[in-house]
Every structure is written in C-alpha cells, then in structure tokens.
C-alpha cells in the first residue's frame, strides 16, 4: 500500500471519527438502557436455571435431605448436594472454614444446602419447596455480646501499639472510658448476585460471573471441580454495582453454578431475587468498641486504648483483612503518642459479613471521632478545636511507623473553617436553636486520612494487555472490574494520553482470565492505580517500539532528520516540527508490514510496601488521601426525622485523571456514608432471620435526603506521594465524610440542654434512635 493511499484512508477515518460521540460510550449506553450486564447477553441454547434450597435455621445439624419428590417434577433435571462435589468442598482462601454445601452443620439462615436445576425458574422454585430437609436445631450465637461471652472467634485476636499507654493515662488530666457501636449496612447493588456457567470442550467452562474478583472465582471453581485453573475462564464485562459485596461473596454463587454445569454439561443461570440477595448475603461488619482515652486540659490526647469487637458472621470471609484496616485507621487523622489497638474477630450465626466500601476504616474512624466529641463535651470546647489541636502535622509518624508525607489534615480543616465561615455558621445555628423549641440544628465535622493499598501486600499488583490495530484503534484488557466507578474510563484516558490517540479510539474489553491472569480484586480504591499503571506501561512499550520507525518515515516523507517524537491527537510528529506529521494509522500499518509487534503486556507492582503484623511496624500504604467534611443537620424533636441542611466537602484528588468521575465518586460515597450513619438499619429477629430483606423495610437515602446546600472542593494540587499520573484514589475515602452527618444530629440533640449533657445516640440515627437519644438527655437532666 502506497503512503498516499494510507494518508487518504487516514484522513477519511479521521473525518468519520468527528461524527462519533466523544463522551464515555458506557455512560450513553447506561442512559439509553442498552448496557449489558451479567445474564443480559443472548441466552445460549438449552439454558437451564438453578436455584438453591437454603437453611431456615441459624444453627442446626442436617439429619437428612430428601429430594425424591422434587426430582419427579416435570422439568427438573437434577438436585445436587455436597456429595456431588468432585473436588474440595471449601471456599475459604486463607482460613478454610466455608463449605460450598454443608455436610453436617448449617451456620446461618440462607446458607445453601442443595442446588436444583430445571428448565424454567418457576419449576426450579417449585422444586425447592418439594425438598424436605430434617434438621436438629442448635443454639445460635447472634450478637457480639454473646460471641464475646462464649469466646467464639473466627481467628486469634491481634493488634498493634506504640508508646506507653499506661504512662500516658497516668500523665493525663482527664480519663474517659466508654463503648461505641457501629451498625451493619446492606450493599444494595442494583444487580443482584448472579452467574452463567457455560460448558465447553472437555473440562472447559466459561463463567460469566458478577464478581469483583475473577481470579478468585476461577481459583475456587477449579478447586471445587477438581480441575486446573486453565480449564476455567471467568469473563466479566461490567457489574451493576458491588461496593465490596461481590469481592469474595460472589464465589459461592459462581461455584454452585459451576458445580451443576460440570455434571449436566448444560448452560446454567443462577440469579438471586432482590429479597433473596438481601436475606442471604453478608453485610458491613457491625463493631462494638470499648475505649479509654487520656487527655489534658487543652484537649490534647496523651493516650488512647481501643478494642474492636467485630461481628464476622458464620465464617472468616474477609473479616481479618477488614479488621486490619480498622486497626491501621484507629487514630484517623490524629497524632496520638501512646496508643494500643486490639482487634477481636467474632464468629456468630448470621451470613458471613464481608467487604464494604471503606473496608473497616469507617468503623475504626467512627470510634475515635466519637471520642473527640466526648472530649470536647467534657471540656466545654468546640469539637473542631479539639480536632485541630490533635491533627497530624507534616513528617509525623503513624502508630505503625510509617512517616506521613504531605500530611494536610490541619491545613484542610482550616480551609474548611474559612470556606464555610465556620464561626458565623455556628452562631447562626445556635441562634436558630434559641428560637426553635421543637426543631434543632447541629454541626458535625470529620477529617479523613485514608491509606491506599491492599493491607495484604501481594495483592498490590496489576496487569494489562494492549493491542494497537493497523487502523490506529486500540484495544485494552486490564485487571480491573468496571462496576459503576468508571475505572474503564480512567484506564482508557490513561492509555489514550500515553499513545496520543483520541479517547473514542480506545476500547476497554471485558475482564477475561485468559487475557489478564492472576489479577487482584477490584477493591481497596486501588483499581485505577494498579491497572492504570499496568496499562500505561503496556502502551508506553508499544509507543517506544514505534518511535524509531516514526523517525524513518518522517525523514523519508519530509526530507530532514526528525528529533524527539511525540504522539498526540492521533498523530506522530517531531517536537521541533509539529506540522510535519504522520497519522497513527499510517504508522501502525507500516509497523505491521515491518513486522513490529503492536501488542504489549503491562505489569505494575506498588513500590515501597512492607508491613509485619508480628511487630506492628512497616509501611502498609503507598500514600494517604486527606480531606474533611462538614454537615449541618436539622432534627425534628417530635418525629425524630432528620434533614440535611448543608454539606461542605473538601477532598484531595491531586492531579485527577477525570474530574467528572472523581466528583461523582465523592458525591456517591458521601451519600452512602450518610445512609450508613442516618438511615439504613439491618434488623435480625431473635432466631437470626433478617427482617429487613426488602426496600419496604430497609430505608436508603433518596433524592429528598440530599443536602439542601452542598459544595465539593477538589484539591488538585501536585503531590509527590500519589497514584497513577499523580492522581489519588477516590472510591472509598469520601464515604467517611458521611459520619459528619451523625455528629451533626448528635450536636442538634445535645443543644436541647445547651451542650451540657451528652446524648446517647446510637447508629444509625433513625427517627427511633433519635427519639430514644432525646429521652436519654431528658432522663439525665431529670
């Protein structure tokens, strides 16, 4: 093909591209309702449907399973129990305590004990009702208090310490002790747990799973079936939300579908209804935390000891990693010279609690922020004053020894104070309260220091596969999972910038374990960092191969030496002569015809990480994200109803890859945090049954619950310690700003008696909880 022909084709292609949409195509598909999620793809021939028989008891012994009646129902093709597992009956990764299907003991209501496959979902559900299981009911453990009394542990307790807490308490002017509780939270992703298992040749199987952890699903399915991982392919195009609820929990449903697909050699679909998903799956870990704090007359903390008791549910799942992050965030944004933190992972008979946005940090931070509030009340000071006094300074060290570079806690609090005209705002709130008998307002403030990296070090790695096609378009496969957080958009922007191509010429493929193997979960706010860097490395490798060829072609075309080659807007050109250029398509065709590899695998591992839990010392995080939030809440004292009047958030994004995406994450995380603290209450009855298994009994924030006045300032300053392209993670840290809403409600209640009595407000601050807290203040006054 002649150069002039290539040039003509390139110009035609570029002209066509001007007619293409320039925005993120996925957004357009979502808005038009055309996005395809798991089980939305065309149904394969002979597709059958699986459903599960689950335990109605929180703790019981299985005496007998009788499925003969179910097997006789027309359309039923199989009933499977633990006896049909060809490999290992185990889903636990580090702690092997979770059977796929129990042999003898059921440990929570909703635990699958058998799988039924039928020609239609209705037949499968009817067959479930025909299965008879004889149980011997055992005594369950359903509360943290009961688990603690029984010493019911998922794993040994652990923790860390720094300084001398006993000496710190002895030298303090005041010492306070107490117990802080935080509650569970339902993930409520739009897309419920679901999977399709499609048989291939021999032992081959394709799993289209709604999971954040394709490699883990691949590992577990291979283990359960007794085959190699090479025989299992997991493919995920996108998820309809996850929030941590599909990091490990998706493995159960995927392996159940894989098991029956293995036996029947039929395509299988397993999909939970909304009620089933809410009733049978684990939630955010509830914590009950006892603390002791010593401080001086100014409010400076000298010593802090805290014990986290977490309800892990019936098996370990990710409880240990979640508690590790809680321990590592126990002091939040405050320098405490003497500190001791203990974590106790408790085992109960509810569904295994699991990952949720923030991954233990919100629970740990909530305790110290509650303590700050109590110190302020004890001293009759403004809580903001106590926060500023104790805030980390540049070059302070965390309790585990990591040095805090670019610690911006105090400057951000001062910026928030100035931005909101805090002193004037506080006086306005108090003036309002003086003139209102049945409506009160309060202010809550929470700063955030959130560490970015998996606390399990080996997970801090990413990979990507990039192809440059001969027409100049680019295909990218990477180790992340798109689940509404727009990690695909960020990776596409990173690759487009590195290769100098328009964004619309980059396509992000589905995550497939044949293209990107041994990947880490998309979690811990690391998805864009580790996979974006991996894709960047791959793109850079391709461009580096093209540079020598570009020099040759430019010299041949324009008759003089080309110097430093740049790639921008779909062109390659010399830095000293930008008007003399080649299209990337022209260059790609010549590279292909010159037998230059146009594909590259990229890899990235996060540097500088090391941590030893034996000593409690090291560098567990690549960097920290800093920010702070202020909320003004209004409380109706007669109904307990809460209205958010104002919210002001200042969040450090550093050099954001996509400002719109980051702003959306800040908004969504904050509102989800507000939901945890104010609206969302998971309730179990005395037998361990979830009573809040639908949206008729479980309240999440709605459009009317958004703050009436809401500002977000994104600090986009350059940072030495940051993630991909100088940006900082944004998925989880803003969740913690929602805790400011809780403290605003508490502040409003305590204004009833001019802040002289502390209200016993329990999370979540639902109307019932608010009214009980008002009674507690009134009773103390009496």
What residues act catalytically?
A: 732
Instruction: Indicate the helix (H) or strand (E) that contains 405.
Output: none
Q: What are the strands of the beta sheet with 48-54, ordered from one edge?
A: 76-80, 112-118, 48-54, 268-271, 194-199, 205-209, 232-236, 511-512
Q: How far, in Å, CA of 193 to CA of 254, rounded?
A: 9
Handedness of CA 111, 116, 117, 118 (dihedral sign): negative
Q: Is the Cα torsion angle 186, 187, 191, 195 positive or negative in sign?
A: negative
CA distance linking residue 168 with residue 292, whole number of Å: 11
Q: Are 256 and 112 in contact (CB under 8 A)?
A: yes
Calpha distance 327→307 (Å, rounded): 9
- Cα–Cα nearest to 440, from 643, 707, 711: 643
Cα-Cα-Cα-Cα dihedral of 195, 199, 202, 203, to 10°?
A: 10
Length of the chain: 782
The pair of three-digit structure tokens given for residue 765, joined into one six-digit string: 């601050």
- Those residues with Cβ within 8 angstroms of residue 30's Cβ, 6 or more apart along the chain or in another chain: none
Q: Which two tokens stand for residue 388?
A: 């500023």
Task: Kindly tell me the sign of the dihedral angle through the C-alpha atoms of 431, 436, 440, 441.
Answer: negative
Distance, C-alpha 130 to centroid of its chain: 39
Burial 605-638 (b: 16+ CB within 10 A, else e): ebeebebebeebbebbbbbbbbbbbbbbbbbbbe
Quote the CA–CA distance of 648 and 660 in Å, as a whole number.
18
CA atoms of 566 and 716, how far apart (whole Å): 26
Closest CA to 351 of 138, 575, 515, 106: 106
């Amino acid at each position: 093909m002649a150069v002039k022909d290539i040039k003509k084709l390139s110009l035609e292609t570029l002209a066509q591209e001007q007619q293409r949409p320039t925005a993120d195509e996925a957004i357009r598909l979502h808005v038009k309702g055309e996005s395809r999620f798991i089980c939305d793809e065309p149904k394969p021939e002979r597709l059958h449907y699986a459903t599960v028989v689950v335990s109605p008891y929180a703790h019981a012994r299985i005496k007998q399973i009788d499925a003969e009646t179910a097997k006789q129902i027309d359309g039923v093709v199989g009933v499977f129990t633990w006896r049909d597992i060809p490999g290992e009956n185990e889903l636990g990764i580090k702690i092997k305590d979770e059977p796929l299907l129990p042999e003898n003991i059921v440990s929570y209501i909703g635990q699958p004990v058998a799988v039924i496959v039928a020609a239609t979902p209705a037949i499968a559900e009817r067959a479930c009702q025909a299965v008879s299981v004889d149980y011997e009911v055992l005594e369950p453990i359903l509360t943290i208090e009961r688990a603690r009394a029984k010493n019911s542990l998922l794993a040994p307790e652990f923790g860390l310490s720094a300084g001398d807490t006993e000496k710190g308490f002895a030298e303090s002017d005041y010492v306070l002790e107490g117990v802080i509780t935080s509650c569970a939270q339902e993930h409520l992703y739009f897309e419920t747990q679901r999977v399709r298992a499609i048989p291939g040749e021999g032992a081959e199987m394709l799993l289209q799973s709604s999971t954040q952890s394709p490699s883990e699903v691949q590992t577990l399915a291979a283990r359960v079936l007794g085959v190699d991982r090479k025989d299992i392919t997991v493919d995920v195009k996108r998820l309809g939300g996850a929030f941590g609820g599909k990091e490990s929990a998706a493995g159960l449903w995927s392996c159940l579908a894989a098991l029956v697909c293995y036996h029947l050699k039929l395509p299988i679909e397993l999909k939970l209804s909304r009620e089933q998903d809410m009733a049978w799956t684990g939630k955010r870990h509830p914590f009950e935390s006892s603390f002791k704090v010593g401080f001086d007359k100014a409010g400076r903390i000298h010593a802090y000891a805290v014990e986290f008791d977490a309800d892990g549910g019936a098996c370990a799942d990710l409880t240990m990693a979640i508690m590790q992050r809680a321990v590592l965030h126990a002091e939040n944004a405050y320098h405490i010279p003497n500190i001791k933190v203990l974590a106790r992972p408790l085992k109960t008979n509810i569904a295994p609690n699991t990952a949720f946005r923030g991954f233990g940090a919100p629970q740990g931070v909530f305790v110290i922020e509650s303590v700050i509030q109590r110190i302020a009340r004890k001293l009759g000071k403004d809580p903001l004053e106590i926060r500023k006094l104790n805030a980390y300074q540049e070059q302070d060290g965390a309790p585990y020894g990591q040095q805090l570079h670019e610690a911006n806690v105090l400057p951000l609090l001062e910026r928030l104070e100035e931005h909101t005209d805090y002193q004037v705002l506080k006086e306005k709130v108090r003036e309002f309260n003086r003139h209102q008998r049945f409506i009160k307002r309060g202010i809550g403030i929470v700063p955030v220091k959130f560490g970015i990296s998996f606390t399990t070090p080996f997970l801090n790695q990413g990979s990507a596969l990039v192809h440059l096609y001969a027409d100049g378009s680019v295909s990218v496969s990477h180790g992340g999972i798109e689940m509404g957080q727009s990690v695909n958009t960020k990776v596409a922007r990173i690759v487009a910038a590195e290769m100098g191509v328009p964004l619309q010429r980059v396509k992000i493929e589905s995550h497939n374990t044949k293209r990107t193997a041994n990947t880490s979960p998309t979690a811990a706010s690391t998805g864009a960092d580790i996979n974006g860097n991996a894709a960047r490395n791959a793109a850079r490798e391709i461009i580096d191969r093209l540079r020598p060829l570009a020099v040759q072609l430019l010299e041949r075309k324009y008759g003089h030496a080309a110097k430093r080659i740049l790639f921008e807007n779909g062109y390659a050109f010399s830095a000293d002569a930008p008007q003399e250029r080649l299209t990337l398509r022209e260059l790609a065709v010549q590279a292909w015809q010159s037998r230059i590899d146009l594909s590259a695998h990229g890899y990235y591992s996060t540097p500088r990480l090391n941590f030893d839990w034996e000593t409690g010392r090291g560098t567990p995080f690549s960097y920290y994200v800093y920010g702070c939030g202020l909320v003004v809440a209004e409380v109706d004292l007669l109904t307990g109803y809460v209205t958010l009047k104002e919210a002001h958030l200042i969040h450090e994004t550093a050099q954001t890859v996509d400002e719109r995406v980051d702003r959306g994450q800040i908004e969504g995380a904050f509102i989800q945090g507000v939901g945890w603290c104010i609206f969302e209450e998971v309730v179990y009855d005395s037998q361990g049954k979830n009573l809040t298994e639908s949206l008729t009994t479980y309240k999440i924030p709605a459009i009317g619950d958004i703050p009436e006045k809401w500002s977000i300032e994104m600090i986009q300053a350059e940072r030495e310690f940051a993630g991909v392209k100088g940006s900082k993670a944004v998925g989880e840290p803003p969740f913690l700003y929602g805790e400011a809403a809780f403290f605003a409600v508490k502040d409003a209640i305590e204004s009833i008696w001019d802040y002289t009595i502390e209200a016993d407000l329990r999370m979540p601050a639902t109307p019932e909880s608010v009214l009980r807290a008002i009674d507690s203040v009134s009773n103390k006054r009496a």
